Structure 1
Amino acid sequence: MKYLKLIRYQNLLLLAFMQLIFCFGFLKLEKIDLALANWQYFLLVLSTVCIAAGGYIINNIMDQDSDLENKPKDVVVGKSISETMAYNLYIGFTLTGVCIGFYLSNVIIRPSFLLVFILPSALLYIYATSLKQVLIVGNVVVATMLSLSIIIIGLFMIFPATADDNRTQMRIVFSVLIDYAIITFIINFIREIVKDLEDIKGDYKQGMKTLPIVLGESKTTKLVFALSFVPIFCILYYVYNYLFQLQYATVYILAFIIGPLLYFSIKIGSAKTKKEYTHLSNVLKLVVFFGIISITIIALNKMYYVA
């Protein structure tokens, strides 16, 4: 169990679930040519999960002091797992992810795509060691990582299989992935700020320069309140312009995505305790989960129940 806590297995399961849903609950239903076979796509998912696991491990190593203050029950490195072992696991997971990426990049005859695996690995290390302490930049980096795990699906499944006769269809499908990546980025960026609010005491003692420490807790919650309407308006705009004829998908999005986001907006304005921030962070994680499922709801609604 200690090793599962070290790599934050719940987040890795969500990541794998997301990539599997986007492939088998969306791309496969679109009946388009795809560059990777199913077993090769599973390798792509494994590679992404390994790199993310490496990122969590190095982050846990570097955050030992602040985690003792913010979440002492979740501290693993230095307690049940030695720092040396943690470093070895970090290297093992990261190298495994990059090596699989090297293989897949050559499978699709795009060796330069190896950078899609190397750059996130390097960025996660730099984030844990230095960028995390830079105002806003750390939040952007973490939010970008999950969005990149959506874009990478298009790069390895759609882009290499695109030809003159299917270019228009492929562009539309790829654009859907980009849209989801953008919304995912916005929601995760907001969630990262909420997590900074949650960890403000420990981060302050470590001399970190997070947004709540620089602006103050009150101003940061007001900023998050304002930012929370950005994904709401973006999603409503998207539904109105592209999905309104899909009744089941529209109802699902309003109930399971817009609803929780409005709840978050209402609650963040009055939130003041660590417990409240933790709850609201989990609400946003739930929104991401329901957002992932929505891609399949939309695809099935298009296939069988178009109004």
Structure 2
Amino acid sequence: MKSARLIRYGNLLFLAFAFCAFRYGFLEQQQGLTLALNQLQFLMLVFSCVCIAAGGFLINNIIDGDSEINFGISEAKGYNLYAALNIVGVGIGFYLSNLIGEPGFALLFILIAATMYFYATNLKYTIVVNNLIIALLVAVSILIVGIYDLYPMITPENQTYLATLFGIFIDFAFFTFVISLIREIVKNIRDVNKDYNAGINTLPIAVGKERMAKITFVLSLIPVGLLLFYANTYLINEKSALLYALIYLLLFVLGPLIYFMIGLWTAKTEKDFDRLSLVLKIVLAFAALSIVVITFNIQNNA
């Protein structure tokens, strides 16, 4: 269990869950759509991304000196495991990229692995940049399923249709980016005293804890606005059969976001901000599941 926490197994499970939600709950439900990857190849893609993400979490703990102190794994073993995870992840990515006739796609895996290493060794304590990198990496992971399953299948005849499907991936990736960025800031606010004592400069330290909480509140209006826009554009104005999808979105995605915004005004302690960080993690999980709910609603009722 300690080793599993070292690679943040909860985050890895969420990554695999999001991949499967978009593949099985969205893409495979589109009538007549042929995907580039078969079932085994898709599972290999998931495993590859999980390995690279696990390696990123691992190197972060190694650099912090947590691997041996908190998890009982020596630094040497940690580096060996890190190397193995990345070799497997990038190797599978290279294989799949060549399999679908897009060898250049392998560069995506290399860039992600390199960025996670560079983040852990150089950028982790660089104000603003560190938060943006983590949020960007999370958002890019959402696009990988669309890139590998849709792009190789583009023809002049289906280009518009596939572009529409990939546009949905981009919308979710942007939403994920904003929520992840807000969550990273909330974690900075939570750790403000610890970071200050360690001589680490973060946004809450630079502008003040309370002021940063207010800025975060304003930032949280962006995903709320996005949800209301999409609900009004694609759900409310459609057939009433999509009412269930609308209710899901309002209750399980917008609801926790509103709770988060209210909580920002009253949060004071580390425990309060830790709870708010968890709320945003729940928002991400329900947002990924929403594509399944909406697709199911459309396919079966609309």
State the TM-score, normalized to the length of structure 2.
Answer: 0.96
Aligned counterpart, 1:235:
227
Greater CA drift, 212-221 or 257-266: 212-221
Matched-pair contact (CA < 8 Å) for 1:191–1:284? yes
Q: 1:257 aligns with which of 245, 253, 257?
A: 253
Matched, 1:49 2:50: yes
1:123 aligns with 2:119: no
Q: 2: distance between equivalents of 1:61 and 1:199?
A: 19
2:101 corresponds, among 96, 102, 109, to: 109
Q: 1:207-263 CA deviation, whole Å, 9 max, x = no partner?
A: 222111111111111111111111001111011112222211111000000010000
Counterpart residue number, 1:37 = 38
Residues 47-196 of structure 1: matches in 2 within 5 Å?
47-64=48-65, 75-79=66-70, 80-196=72-188
Query: 1:191-202 maps to which residues of 2 (within 5 A)?
Result: 191-202=183-194
**Counterpart pick for 1:294 among 290, 296, 301:** 290
Structure 1 residue aligned with 2:28: 28
Unaligned runs of 5+ in 1: 65-74
What residue is the counterpart of 1:304 in the other structure?
Answer: 300
What amino acid maps onto 1:26 in structure 2? F
- In the alignment, residue 50 of structure 2 is paired with which amino acid? V
> Which runs of no fewer than 5 residues in structure 2 stay unpaired?
none
- SS of residue matched to 1:93: helix
- Tell me the distance in 2 between the aligned counterparts of 1:26 and 1:175: 13
Given residue 11 of structure 1, which amino acid in structure 2 is its aligned partner?
N
1:37 corresponds to which letter in structure 2? Answer: N
Letter in 2 for 1:36: L
| C-alpha separation in 2, matches of 1:154 and 1:295 | 14
Q: Compute the RMSD of aligned alpha carbons.
A: 1.1
Q: Deviations over 1:114-173 (max 9, x none)?
A: 111000111001111111111111111111111111111111100001112211211111
How many residues of Structure 1 are paired with residues of Structure 2 in the alignment?
296
How far did residue 205 of structure 1 move?
2.5
Letter of the 1:82 partner, please give it. S
CA distance in 2, matches of 1:214, 1:294: 37
Q: Provide the C-alpha distance between the structure 1 equivalents of 2:193 and 2:199, rounded to a whole number of angstroms.
A: 10
Contact 1:34/1:158 (CA < 8 Å) preserved in 2? yes
Measure, in 1, the Cα distance between the counterparts of 2:30 and 2:255. 28
CA distance in 2, matches of 1:209, 1:249: 42
Calculate the TM-score normalised by the size of structure 1. Answer: 0.94
